[in-house]
């Protein structure tokens, strides 16, 4: 499977646990007893003495190391002179020291002043000699030349036969002598060279023999064919080359690998700093390495496979990046929460307990809900339109105009009925088809609900007896549901106006029209070419307790009303069948169905608009009106409306004329009064002001915040002002306050709490739940509240128990544990709970460098504990279980130092999407074939692929 096993990790060495202890630096204080020839090195609670280079001993007593005493002669080819802490090489006369400080090279005496020779100078290894031209011979000083005379056989005669020096004897003869460093041979004329002159012509070592000097070389060198010169050879010490050595006629030739350059000594290779030129071609950071360089990216970016370009990491694409919504940005990302929630732990969203913030500004009661809250009212009251104040429910008064009027009249055999909606008309187009809709008029009387929970502005405005309810169903043939304005009517219909029934108090009508052909489980009898429209009508008629008499009680009234409603239903049925039923809304008359069949209205008007029948489209609510619900046929007037305000208002709070902050009125609209001294109001459109409490006053009328209350002490964040004792109290556990001068603390969101009281930020609210997914093949463990700081005094236990014949591989991308509290927070992975069981991993420190390792036991018991002291970000550690047949290969990859030598390789283990892919393949090798070679090459750096490929090839070689 090749590349699929691109696993992982980085350092098998388990970090040691070493608490931070105070220490005295004996070296800096100069209270050590190290030798003057030693270096003092401070250690924890002690120090070490180390002899300097060139010295030997225990550090407290150091003596000079005689480098010249070795067989190697200190590396010197001639003489080695020892000096304290060092040594130096010197050369014999006629030689000079080479650049390496060890080799000796011949001095060319003839190159300077012709060596002092009068005529000819001949350079030789370690020396030189002067010679004369034809007709001259060398004088005794061995430098000048004398012209040869003609005559007697004296020393002036050229045939005297002496090789060096000729002397005339007292008896008239001649005697030969040799120059210093030479010996006269047996023929008493010739001279032979000795090692005493010019080192016998040898470059390095000269040995006397019966036949004259014999040359040898130092151990690093080889003797040339002239049997005098010594040259370096690649066979000996690599020719002195740092890298590659090539043998040549003149000695050795050194070369350097890519990334290095040869130095002037022609031996040493020096690393090339590629980062000095154009930042090495790296987008962000270039780090020079020995023989190469490495590009890396800033946090929040990843290096592409060309190992030069940096690309933003889309953290929002990771699993579990944010609880609600995530917005990616270059190099970073940010989590956001839905309305009614607050962010904690960097990525998590918790419900805001609005009721903890001055009781949600509710006048009476407050009930927190997920993402919101509700104000409640006591019995006999209902919620004000501002949804915070409570107003009294009034009892039904005699003669109160109904919201809905049902009118029927009869002309001959023709029944005509109309439904007039004076307010609260709601139109809802069918969701399943375009041939159905629902229209409702008025307000249903809700029963079975506690008065304290009637929290909507559409709740009944008065309390009465239970209504009379009736449901009826009608059919219209050859017509289709279509609520549309009535066309110009027949002559007999013009001017017709039915009279409303006497004492007919209809409060709510719900009409549903359906032309759908779906049988709903039963066979449809009508042919497919026939349209049958079904109209279902629900009516509620009010029974007034005030209309009872001595001869007719409330039960009697109900019976009369039920009979009256039934009578009108019969009339309705006839009028609908005769197409003489109309709905009047906002001055327009609508028909419920249409013949012939035309296009069906399916418009669903949004809040802030209403359906205009004549134009058959949605119209924005005009200024001075509002509409909270969708599908309405009219807009509601704003309280005290003078025709001003924004168009398209979606709720009553958008209406103009609301009381500003610091003011109130009986209905929340102008005219308004300022809050009196000792009270304040932070909201718009309120019917009351909140007292400061505790007898506190304000500096002025019309205060809009508790900040305006003249408290006796200013409270800082993490505290609230208690108006009973008039002092600042620390926010209790599980709450916080970010602002100065407040009289409340905010409850922590969701299931979070704080480590201590006096919290000043929601970031101090932490979730103590131990998180993770313990799958058989892949999974992860996560410290509580991650990626936020974990809570104090928390303990988590996870157990990984893989299926049979599978091993565990753990990857720790990074881990953050405070190291300054003497290992109070510890993560340990063992075979089981026993402290003596086989331990795979244990740490109490922060490591931002990835670590990967295989479990030392088949199953893992993982324990994390934190103390009451410092806290940190914690960890998120993924794992995978793999087939034990691959154990040798996985361990070989994990233990290879090259895997973590490169920062690019380390980043692979921090890439959550890449790790997920690698684990997917490792857990299920067949999944390797889901990815193409190109996909892998685009995901992973080439250096990483080469490393893994070599491992896989070696593993699979026996099977080829």
Q: What's the pLDDT at 530?
A: 61
Q: What's the pLDDT at 17?
A: 38
Q: What's the pLDDT at 462?
A: 55
**All structural domains of the chain:** 114-217 (2.10.25.10), 276-312 (2.10.25.10), 353-392 (2.10.25.10), 402-487+501-517+530-545+554-602 (no CATH), 768-959 (2.60.120.290)
Give the range among 106-120, 294-308, 599-613 with minimum mean pLDDT: 599-613
For residue 455, the cross-strand partners are none
Q: What's the pLDDT at 139?
A: 82
Residues 442, 404 contacting (CB under 8 angstroms):
yes
What SS3 class is residue 5? helix
Q: Using 50, 70 and 90 to split pLDDT, how confident is the model at 517?
A: low
Tell me the C-alpha distance between 662 and 658, whole Å. 12
Q: What's the pLDDT at 449?
A: 43
Q: Which DSSP category does 741 fall into?
A: S
Q: Using 50, 70 and 90 to split pLDDT, how confident is the model at 455?
A: very low
Q: What's the pLDDT at 452?
A: 40
Q: Using 50, 70 and 90 to split pLDDT, how confident is the model at 505?
A: low
Burial of 815 (0-12, 13-18, 19+ CB in 10 A): buried
Average pLDDT, stretch 26-31? 88
Token pair listed for 855 = 């479990």
Q: How far is CA 880 from CA 771, 898, 901, in A?
A: 17, 22, 23
Q: What's the pLDDT at 739?
A: 94
Residue 49 has pLDDT above 70, yes or no: yes
In this prediction the pTM is: 0.62
Q: Which of 423, 427, 419, 428 has its CA nearest to residue 443? A: 423
Tell me the C-alpha distance between 35 and 32, whole Å. 9
Q: What's the pLDDT at 151?
A: 56
Give the range among 140-154, 323-337, 410-424, 511-525 with minimum mean pLDDT: 511-525
Average pLDDT, stretch 643-648? 82
Tell me the C-alpha distance between 63 and 84, whole Å. 9
Dihedral class, residue 212 (left if φ above 0, else alpha if ψ from -120 to 50, else beta): left
Q: Which DSSP category does 763 fall into?
A: G
User: Which positions ≥6 away from 565 have C-beta within 8 Å?
Assistant: 468, 470, 539, 541
Q: Answer with the residue of higher pLDDT: 507 or 259.
A: 259
Q: Quick one: CA torsion of 907, 908, 914, 919, rounded to 10 degrees? A: -130
Q: Quick one: CA torsion of 79, 83, 87, 88, rounded to 10 degrees? A: -50
Q: What angle do CA 228, 229, 233 make, to 5 degrees?
A: 130
Average pLDDT, stretch 157-178? 76
Give the range among 380-389, 438-447, 452-461, 673-682 with minimum mean pLDDT: 452-461
DSSP symbols for 661-719: TTEE-SSSBSS-EEPPTTEE--SSS-S--EE--TT--BSSSS--SGGGB--SSPPPTTE
DSSP symbols for 602-624: ---PPTTEEEETTTTEEEEPPTT
Q: β-strands 581-585, 414-421: how paired?
A: parallel
Give the range among 177-191, 489-503, 593-607, 930-944 with minimum mean pLDDT: 489-503
Residue 496 has pLDDT above 60, yes or no: no
Average pLDDT, the chain: 83
For residue 332, the cross-strand partners are 329
Residue recorded with tokens 């029944």: 415
Average pLDDT, stretch 353-369? 94
Residue recorded with tokens 């279509």: 482
Q: Using 50, 70 and 90 to split pLDDT, how confident is the model at 501?
A: very low
User: Which positions ≥6 away from 530 have C-beta within 8 Å?
Assistant: 477, 478
User: Which positions ≥6 away from 438 have C-beta within 8 Å?
Assistant: 426, 427, 428, 430, 510, 511, 512, 513
Average pLDDT, stretch 4-32? 56
DSSP symbols for 809-869: EEEES-EE--STTSS-SEEEEESSS-TTSPEEEEE-S-B-S-EEEE-SSSSEEEEEE--SS
Q: What's the pLDDT at 504?
A: 52
Cis ω before 228 (30° cut-off from 0): no
Residues 843, 17 contacting (CB under 8 angstroms):
yes
What percent of the chain is predicted at pLDDT more than 90? 39
């Amino acid at each position: 499977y090749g590349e699929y096993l691109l696993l992982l990790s980085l350092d098998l060495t388990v970090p040691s646990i070493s608490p931070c202890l105070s220490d005295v630096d004996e070296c800096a204080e100069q209270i050590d007893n190290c030798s003057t020839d030693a270096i003092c090195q401070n250690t924890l609670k002690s120090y070490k003495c180390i002899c300097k280079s060139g010295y030997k001993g225990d550090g407290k007593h150091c003596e000079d190391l005689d480098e010249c005493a070795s067989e190697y002669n200190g590396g010197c080819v001639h003489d080695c002179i020892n000096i304290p802490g060092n040594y130096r090489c010197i050369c014999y006369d006629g030689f000079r020291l080479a650049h390496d400080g060890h080799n000796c090279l011949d001095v060319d005496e003839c190159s300077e002043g012709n060596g002092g020779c009068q005529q000819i100078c001949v350079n030789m290894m370690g020396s030189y000699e002067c010679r004369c031209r034809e007709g001259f011979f060398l004088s005794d000083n061995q430098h000048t030349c004398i012209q040869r005379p003609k005559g007697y056989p004296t020393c002036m005669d050229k045939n005297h036969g002496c090789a060096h020096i000729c002397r005339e004897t007292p008896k008239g003869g001649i005697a030969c002598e040799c120059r210093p460093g030479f010996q006269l041979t047996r023929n008493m004329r010739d001279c032979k060279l000795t090692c005493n002159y010019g080192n016998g012509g040898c470059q390095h070592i000269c040995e006397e023999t019966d036949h004259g000097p014999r040359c040898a070389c130092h151990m690093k060198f080889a003797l040339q064919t002239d049997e005098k010169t010594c040259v370096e050879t690649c066979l000996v010490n690599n020719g002195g080359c740092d890298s590659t050595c090539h043998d040549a006629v003149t000695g050795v030739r050194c070369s350097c690998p890519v990334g290095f350059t040869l130095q002037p000594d022609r031996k040493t290779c020096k690393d090339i700093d590629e980062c000095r030129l154009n930042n090495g071609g790296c987008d962000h950071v270039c780090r020079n390495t020995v023989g190469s360089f490495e590009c890396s990216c800033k946090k929040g970016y990843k290096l592409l496979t060309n190992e030069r370009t940096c690309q933003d990491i889309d953290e929002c694409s990771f699993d579990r990046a944010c609880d609600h919504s995530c917005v990616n940005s270059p190099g970073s990302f940010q989590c956001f929460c839905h309305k009614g929630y607050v962010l904690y732990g960097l990525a998590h969203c918790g419900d805001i307990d609005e009721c903890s913030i001055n009781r949600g500004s509710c006048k009476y009661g407050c009930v927190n809900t997920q993402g919101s809250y509700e104000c409640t009212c006591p019995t006999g009251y209902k919620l004000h339109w501002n949804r915070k104040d409570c107003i009294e429910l009034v009892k039904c008064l005699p003669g109160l105009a109904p919201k809905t009027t049902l009118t029927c009249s009869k002309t001959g055999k023709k029944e005509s009925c109309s439904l007039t909606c004076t307010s609260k008309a709601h139109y809802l187009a069918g969701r399943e088809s375009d041939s159905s809709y629902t229209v409702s008029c008025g307000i249903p009387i809700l029963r079975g609900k506690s008065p304290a929970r009637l929290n909507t502005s559409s709740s009944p405005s008065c309390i009465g007896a239970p209504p009379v309810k009736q449901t009826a169903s009608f059919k219209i043939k050859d017509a289709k549901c279509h609520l549309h304005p009535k066309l110009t009517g027949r002559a007999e219909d013009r001017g017709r106006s039915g009279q409303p029934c006497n004492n007919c108090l209809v409060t709510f009508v719900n009409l549903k029209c359906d032309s759908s052909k779906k049988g709903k489980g039963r066979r449809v009898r009508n042919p497919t070419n026939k349209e049958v429209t079904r109209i279902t009508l629900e009516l509620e008629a009010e029974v007034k307790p005030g209309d009872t008499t001595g001869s007719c009680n409330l039960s009697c009234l109900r019976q009369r009303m039920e009979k009256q409603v039934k009578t009108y239903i019969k009339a309705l049925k006839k009028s609908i069948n005769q197409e003489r039923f109309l709905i009047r809304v906002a001055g327009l008359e609508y028909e419920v169905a249409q013949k012939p069949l035309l296009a069906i209205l399916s418009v669903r008007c949004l809040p802030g608009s209403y359906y205009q029948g004549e134009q058959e489209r949605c119209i924005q609510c005009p200024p001075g009106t509002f509409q909270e619900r969708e599908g309405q046929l009219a807009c509601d007037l704003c309280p005290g409306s003078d025709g001003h305000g924004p168009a398209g208002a979606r709720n009553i709070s958008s209406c103009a004329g609301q009381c500003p902050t610091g003011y109130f009125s009986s209905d929340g609209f102008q005219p308004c009064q300022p809050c009196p001294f000792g009270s304040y109001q932070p909201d718009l459109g309120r019917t009351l002001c909140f007292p400061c409490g505790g007898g506190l006053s304000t500096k002025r009328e019309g205060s809009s915040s508790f900040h305006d209350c003249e408290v006796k002490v200013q409270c800082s964040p993490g505290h609230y002002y208690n108006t009973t004792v008039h002092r600042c109290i620390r926010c209790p556990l599980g709450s916080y306050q970010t602002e100065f001068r407040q009289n409340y603390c905010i409850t922590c969101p969701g299931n979070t709490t704080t480590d201590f009281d006096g919290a000043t930020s929601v970031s101090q609210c932490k979730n103590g739940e131990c998180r993770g997914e313990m799958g058989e093949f892949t999974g992860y463990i996560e410290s509580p509240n991650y990626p936020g700081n974990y809570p104090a005094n928390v303990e988590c236990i996870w157990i990984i128990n893989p299926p049979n014949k599978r091993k565990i591989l753990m990857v720790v991308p990074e881990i953050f544990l405070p190291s300054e509290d003497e290992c109070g927070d510890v993560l340990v992975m063992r075979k089981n709970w026993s402290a003596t069981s086989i331990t795979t991993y244990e740490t109490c420190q922060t490591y931002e460098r990835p670590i990967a390792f295989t479990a030392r036991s088949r199953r893992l018991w993982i324990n994390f504990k934190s103390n009451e002291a410092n806290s940190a970000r914690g960890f998120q550690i993924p794992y995978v279980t793999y087939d034990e047949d691959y154990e040798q290969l996985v361990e070989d990859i994990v233990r290879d130092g090259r895997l973590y030598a490169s920062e690019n390789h380390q980043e692979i283990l921090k890439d959550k999407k890449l790790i997920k892919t690698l684990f997917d393949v490792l857990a299920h090798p067949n999944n390797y074939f889901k990815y193409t070679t190109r996909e892998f090459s685009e995901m992973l750096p080439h250096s990483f692929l080469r490393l893994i490929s070599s491992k896989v090839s070696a593993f699979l070689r026996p099977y080829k």
